[in-house]
């Protein structure tokens, strides 16, 4: 990653491949951004779209830190941010 990413401490990668998009990846991405903003992490966390990560049968897929999250649902995102992002903030 380039220098423009140096200011971020946390990264959430959301697959935007075909199957994940069909399974709601765009909404997952928006919800992660909203949740990070609401928890005061907008300046230190970044949500990044990725191409297919190869786990299409488990769509939608996100990666937070070293954790692969599969079949992510919007209502899980507050707990994901609390558990995997805020605990390391
Ligand atoms: S489309 Fe997301 S894992 Fe393939």
Sign of CA dihedral 63, 5, 84, 34: negative
Query: From ligand 1's centre to the CA of 22, what distance in Å?
Result: 10
Q: Is the pLDDT at 84 greater than 90, yes or no?
A: no
Pocket of ligand 1 (CB under 6 A): 15, 17-20, 52-56, 59, 61
Query: From ligand 1's centre to the CA of 36, what distance in Å?
Result: 23
| pLDDT at residue 13, rounded to an integer | 97
Contact in structure between 81 and 38 (CB atoms under 8 Å): no
* 3-state SS string for the chain: CCHHHCCCCEEEEEECCHHHHHCCHHHHHHHHHHHHHHCCCCCCEEEEEECCCCCHHHCCCEEECCEEECCCCHHHHHHHHHHHHHHHC
Name the residue at shortest CA distance from atom 1 of ligand 1: 17
0.85 cut: is pTM over it? Answer: yes
The band of 5, judged by pLDDT with boundaries at 50, 70 and 90, is confident
Q: Is the pLDDT at 1 greater than 70, yes or no?
A: no
pLDDT per position as a tens digit, 17-33: 999 999 999 999 999 99
- Higher-confidence position of 9 and 72: 72
pLDDT, average across residues 22-46 = 95
Q: Tokens standing for 21?
A: 């998009």
């Amino acid at each position: 990653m380039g220098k423009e990413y140096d200011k971020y401490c946390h990264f959430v990668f959301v697959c935007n491949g075909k199957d994940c998009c069909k399974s709601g990846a765009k909404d997952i991405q928006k919800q992660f951004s909203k949740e990070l903003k609401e928890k005061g992490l907008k300046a230190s966390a970044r949500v990044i779209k990725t191409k297919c990560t190869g786990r299409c049968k488990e769509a939608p897929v996100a990666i937070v830190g070293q954790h692969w999250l599969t079949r992510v649902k919007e209502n899980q995102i507050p707990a994901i941010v609390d558990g995997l992002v805020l605990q390391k903030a």
